[in-house]
Structure 1
């Protein structure tokens, strides 16, 4: 098994995959549909980390997941439909073994019928104003919302859903008018009646656009949804990619992106920010965050285009543009639900910004180095090219030659990458020994060692992490923690992704098939720390946990349905480095500083408030109550508006070799200046420097420069 799979690229990236294949497909091909099921079943049963029984439980998962995928907001199917579907609830496993897809055909066929009938429903409902004085509410907890009993109750679901959308738009417009009135005393506000009519017309327009784009999708698009319901029964990181989705995935991995520098994903009617590309325009601008929802897109001063319900590919065409042009995004913030217009100047997002970079800062008369590692990168097709391990080694050498006394490795929001580079980077900080253990299904764990006795850095070390540090980041942080080689500081715990995926082209398992069958991203291994514990679910707990906006939020591997469990294996043979004379004292001092720091405590209060908001799922549909509740939330949000406002006295500079490059590369210089400005305003970096400056080595002789 290992020999066959070694030809595929092993990635440890924290995966965020799009459920829907939002692209035109080649149409229905029943024979191909059956072949894909056959090949997937063959590959998964033989090579997936979990030996999964295709039984009644598995059948129930596919049944529930596919229905929820087609109708996540409970707007199409009724309990009467589910009663008919339920004949297959515990037989899908048998159907899959026989490459029978009758369940898919029944549910998909009914879905198409419901799509058609729902068009008439929403168009009729939106012809006249709703009763905004009626005291009623809507639950957005769709996971626990029952399907409508019948067509009459389903229509009422639609009514409440459309009414809520209109209320959101009216309130948003009122806030925008309020800001305009502040800037222009002569500005005339629109009446509620006019705002309501405009909002209702806009919702109708968006719904029509949504259904136009839904009608563009063909059988193979929806079939991909079904296949993902099947493969997700093994674990949440295993997914099927149709040929066109795989093509976009390959482009995404090419290392060069244009536009605002953000990865987008469609969820329901909304376009979500999945990831900001380090060094890209959105990343430098600083206001956009993962999880935010883009509602409107405007070209500079032009009128904004509403993209709610818009096909993802179409939305991207509005967001992308020429280098130097301005795009204005109306965004709903994930963190507090506020609406904000964010202006971004488009640019080419260069691969260079995914590489290692470093900065030097002085504190108490000593120099310290900060190395930012955005991911554990490598070119698997040409290992002679630069990779994260080679670059880290060079960067550390540069910093040593500049005379730094301590080192911070910043792995915040690093989603992972190459296992090979994670092991080699770990080896830069110890003489030799185990870094991680990996395990295939049914086999003993393999201990992966650093075999190079050279230590590139034996001075004080602090590793920064957060809740989005995942996979290979967790391997490195766990190794440094187990060896007691460095202090881990940041979020309470890291993401907790302790699995490895391979990308498997299906045609390799079905010779001479005339067309592309797509690919399977499949979990094949599990990680374990050298102390024996898995990084799965638990991640790495920081030695010093700093309050953050995410402290109480529900997310991470532990919150994914079907995530593989935490377990442990035998501890590898290793000895702690015993590097520091005051390791525990430094950790204690930092914890005391944080407890006494008003700003950190306000962040903690903010995180609790955000958690309360995350748990809120019921909203009033009475406009006065809706507005009053929204105003209260806005007022509370305003109390926390400046909690992250911070500026240290430290000055951050680039290494001398980069300063020479600035003479010919003003773009690089501007990027580094922006980064240094952010470092100066980073309260978390400031505390990491406090910790680093206090660490004392038992052997104070740093490595000789060479």
Structure 2
């Protein structure tokens, strides 16, 4: 070995050693903070080792085509039950060794793919392929690597060709020519992914920190300064933004779908709706869209730290062109509270709350609660007789805003109980005296209503202040706070679960979700991942509480309205058809997929069966409802002076006019008003 190579060898391992020490130091600090402040800390033992090791290996090799079985078994023997001891002994070399093997295997796969690209694939060979719903064992042997990858590429070619036409005979006639084009595109994409992984400056330390954190619960996570800034920004409806919305098309290309006329992307004068994003650069690194994960692309676009980025775009069949953009602070209208007036037999107010946003780093007090209050004043001027509040797909946000919002609708008294890691109970009181709004309310919830949404919904349900309609919510009844790992330092943070919250009855919706009074089925409701599906989620429990509250109306009235409407909804064909389609979706999702023959006929027929189901969903009847939906006078006045908001307003109006869930909410609210 030459002298220079020897120096490089020792320098490289010296750097690895330094990184290993730093990794252990941060893990130790994370553990110290968790032991001190987490609601339910666990001991650092073999269980943690197994969870961290298995989660990390699943992340690195989800398809089981990177690590050999022998390599995996060797790492299991050395580390699967030893990571806890390694961390205690400040020896985190396990990370360096795993990543060294991983990158070596990526290089091996690259060589194999280049070989396959120069070879012919035998499509006449009799073979089958099976897909697994859950993770399957590491199985690949050294002499099988090329076979495994050839099989994978062969299936992807068949799948790609089958997706291009509904005419099987036409595909067979043109199969050979199509296979050559498809094979080259698929292999080049795989090579691009491998090169990105090999060349990426990203560290795997953060991944280990997060697997360590999620051993304690699904919502505790590590933040670098960058990720912390992005997370805080996501909880506000005003943030640094490019002012554009992107979509994935059927080819998995990222296309610019909308441009905000007030945003920096539009104001460059060079970007148009329909442009394809080829790559994104933040001056430190460049992500090629075709071979980068959607998560990394999204982080690059949304990160608050990437204030200046360069987009490489393509328009139609023209050449690529670059556009530098500097983000600016914009209000995200899609995440802001808005309202309409709905008339059927009575005049009803409708308020949509997309998220519980707030001013997290300022003292303005502005947030969704204040915006809801403004919309209520606006609607009261129009003499509405009741209110529909829509929390569908509201993933939560600021608990402070949820508390304020509950105070608007509850007269006075306790609204929730929280406990900390010392099991100390704290009763949260209504922050305001009196109610801003006193008339009947229907609250719309669904499977994606989570956290602060569930907190707010449970309060109104316990006080009989609203009738809840929809499907059971996500099932998260915990509160998180962002803490620095070290005081007075701002480079490492933890979003840590510090409280569990309970209903004023002492019950919890943790894992179970908040159950509606009137059930309205929705597509995919049993497929969406819920809190109960997270293996480290807290169990459901309850606490003793001496609290007594006076319900806003008699429970018997809620029960009467719920019983009447549940019976009525059971007879509505729209919702019964959703139940039938959901049964098919559940069967597709829950039953192991049968072994598929590696032939064009078999892949085409499988695709046809799946596509017909999704076509059934996409073409599902959404007839216009017999509802008159319109803006308040004040909203119309605002739109006259803010023309860019007018298009968004019209899209919302159009969507609501075919929203059967709103139609049922209005019917239930009218029953509520009549009976009350």
Q: TM-score range by the shorter chain?
A: 0.7 to 0.9
CA offset at residue 489 of structure 1?
0.3
- Residue 393 (structure 2) pairs with residue 452 (structure 1): no
Superposed counterparts of 1:517-528, under 5 Å: 517-528=491-502
Superposed counterparts of 1:371-450, under 5 Å: 371-450=351-430
Cα–Cα, structure 1 residues 593 and 634, in superposed 2: closer, same or farther, change >3 Å? same
CA offset at residue 361 of structure 1?
1.4
Cα–Cα, structure 1 residues 200 and 55, in superposed 2: closer, same or farther, change >3 Å? same
CA offset at residue 30 of structure 1?
4.0
* CA–CA separation in structure 1 for the residues paired with 2:232 and 2:636: 35
Cα–Cα, structure 1 residues 233 and 581, in superposed 2: closer, same or farther, change >3 Å? closer
- Please say if residues 148 and 154 of structure 1, whose CA atoms lie closer than 8 Å, have aligned partners that are also in contact: no
Partner of 2:265: none
Match of 1:548 among 505, 522, 531: 522
Question: Structure 1: which 5+ residue stretches go unaligned?
Answer: 1-24, 182-187, 284-297, 329-346, 701-706
- Please say if residues 77 and 111 of structure 1, whose CA atoms lie closer than 8 Å, have aligned partners that are also in contact: yes
- Please say if residues 490 and 542 of structure 1, whose CA atoms lie closer than 8 Å, have aligned partners that are also in contact: yes
* CA–CA separation in structure 2 for the residues paired with 1:251 and 1:554: 26
TM-superposition CA deviations, 1:369-401 (whole Å, max 9, x none): 011111122213333342222222232222222
CA offset at residue 563 of structure 1?
1.2
- Please say if residues 259 and 349 of structure 1, whose CA atoms lie closer than 8 Å, have aligned partners that are also in contact: yes
* CA–CA separation in structure 1 for the residues paired with 2:556 and 2:28: 60
CA offset at residue 367 of structure 1?
0.7
Match of 2:245 among 238, 261, 264: 261
CA offset at residue 349 of structure 1?
6.7
Match of 1:197 among 171, 180, 186: 180
CA offset at residue 319 of structure 1?
8.9
* CA–CA separation in structure 2 for the residues paired with 1:387 and 1:541: 27
Superposed counterparts of 1:42-57, under 5 Å: 42-57=32-47
Bigger helix fraction: 2
Q: More displaced, 630-639 or 446-455?
A: 630-639
TM-superposition CA deviations, 1:59-113 (whole Å, max 9, x none): 1111211221211111122221232212222221121122221322221221122
Q: More displaced, 632-641 or 191-200?
A: 632-641
Cα–Cα, structure 1 residues 554 and 152, in superposed 2: closer, same or farther, change >3 Å? farther
Q: More displaced, 221-230 or 204-213?
A: 221-230
- Residue 24 (structure 2) pairs with residue 34 (structure 1): yes
Q: More displaced, 540-549 or 137-146?
A: 137-146
Q: Secondary structure at the match of 1:361?
A: strand
* CA–CA separation in structure 2 for the residues paired with 1:317 and 1:374: 21
Match of 1:506 among 469, 485, 493: 485
Superposed counterparts of 1:341-380, under 5 Å: 350-364=331-345, 366-380=346-360
Partner of 1:567: 541
Partner of 1:666: 643
Cα–Cα, structure 1 residues 573 and 148, in superposed 2: closer, same or farther, change >3 Å? same
Cα–Cα, structure 1 residues 68 and 318, in superposed 2: closer, same or farther, change >3 Å? closer
- Please say if residues 121 and 154 of structure 2, whose CA atoms lie closer than 8 Å, have aligned partners that are also in contact: yes
- Residue 150 (structure 2) pairs with residue 174 (structure 1): no
Q: Secondary structure at the match of 1:576?
A: coil
Partner of 1:484: 464
- Please say if residues 20 and 95 of structure 2, whose CA atoms lie closer than 8 Å, have aligned partners that are also in contact: no
- Residue 81 (structure 2) pairs with residue 90 (structure 1): yes
- Please say if residues 276 and 315 of structure 2, whose CA atoms lie closer than 8 Å, have aligned partners that are also in contact: no
Match of 1:240 among 197, 222, 243: 222
Q: Secondary structure at the match of 2:24?
A: helix
- Please say if residues 62 and 135 of structure 2, whose CA atoms lie closer than 8 Å, have aligned partners that are also in contact: no
- Please say if residues 139 and 145 of structure 1, whose CA atoms lie closer than 8 Å, have aligned partners that are also in contact: no
Match of 1:648 among 616, 625, 628: 625
CA offset at residue 475 of structure 1?
0.8
* CA–CA separation in structure 2 for the residues paired with 1:129 and 1:319: 40
Q: Secondary structure at the match of 2:549?
A: coil
Match of 2:68 among 60, 75, 78: 78
Match of 1:221 among 183, 200, 203: 203
TM-superposition CA deviations, 1:468-513 (whole Å, max 9, x none): 000111011111111111110012x1011111122223342xx67x
- Please say if residues 551 and 604 of structure 1, whose CA atoms lie closer than 8 Å, have aligned partners that are also in contact: no
* CA–CA separation in structure 2 for the residues paired with 1:27 and 1:272: 40
- Residue 672 (structure 2) pairs with residue 695 (structure 1): yes
Q: Which has the higher contact order (CA 8 A, sep 6+)?
A: 1
CA offset at residue 552 of structure 1?
2.5
Partner of 2:264: none
CA offset at residue 610 of structure 1?
1.6
TM-superposition CA deviations, 1:294-338 (whole Å, max 9, x none): xxxx97387999945325588569999999x9989xxxxxxxxxx
* CA–CA separation in structure 2 for the residues paired with 1:327 and 1:695: 54
Q: More displaced, 580-589 or 663-672?
A: 580-589
* CA–CA separation in structure 2 for the residues paired with 1:470 and 1:260: 26
* CA–CA separation in structure 2 for the residues paired with 1:55 and 1:494: 34
* CA–CA separation in structure 1 for the residues paired with 2:61 and 2:353: 40
Match of 1:211 among 191, 194, 218: 194
* CA–CA separation in structure 2 for the residues paired with 1:271 and 1:444: 52
Cα–Cα, structure 1 residues 109 and 639, in superposed 2: closer, same or farther, change >3 Å? closer
- Please say if residues 645 and 681 of structure 1, whose CA atoms lie closer than 8 Å, have aligned partners that are also in contact: yes
Match of 2:507 among 501, 526, 533: 533
Q: Secondary structure at the match of 1:563?
A: coil
Q: More displaced, 137-146 or 161-170?
A: 137-146
Cα–Cα, structure 1 residues 422 and 167, in superposed 2: closer, same or farther, change >3 Å? same
Q: Secondary structure at the match of 2:53?
A: helix
* CA–CA separation in structure 1 for the residues paired with 2:154 and 2:599: 10
Partner of 1:628: 605
TM-superposition CA deviations, 1:674-704 (whole Å, max 9, x none): 2111111101100000000111477x6xxxx
Partner of 1:65: 55
Partner of 1:152: 143
- Residue 580 (structure 2) pairs with residue 605 (structure 1): yes
Partner of 1:7: none
CA offset at residue 404 of structure 1?
0.7
CA offset at residue 671 of structure 1?
2.1
Partner of 1:591: 566
Cα–Cα, structure 1 residues 581 and 148, in superposed 2: closer, same or farther, change >3 Å? closer
* CA–CA separation in structure 2 for the residues paired with 1:263 and 1:249: 21
- Please say if residues 259 and 322 of structure 1, whose CA atoms lie closer than 8 Å, have aligned partners that are also in contact: no
CA offset at residue 202 of structure 1?
0.3
CA offset at residue 253 of structure 1?
5.1
TM-score (norm 1): 0.80
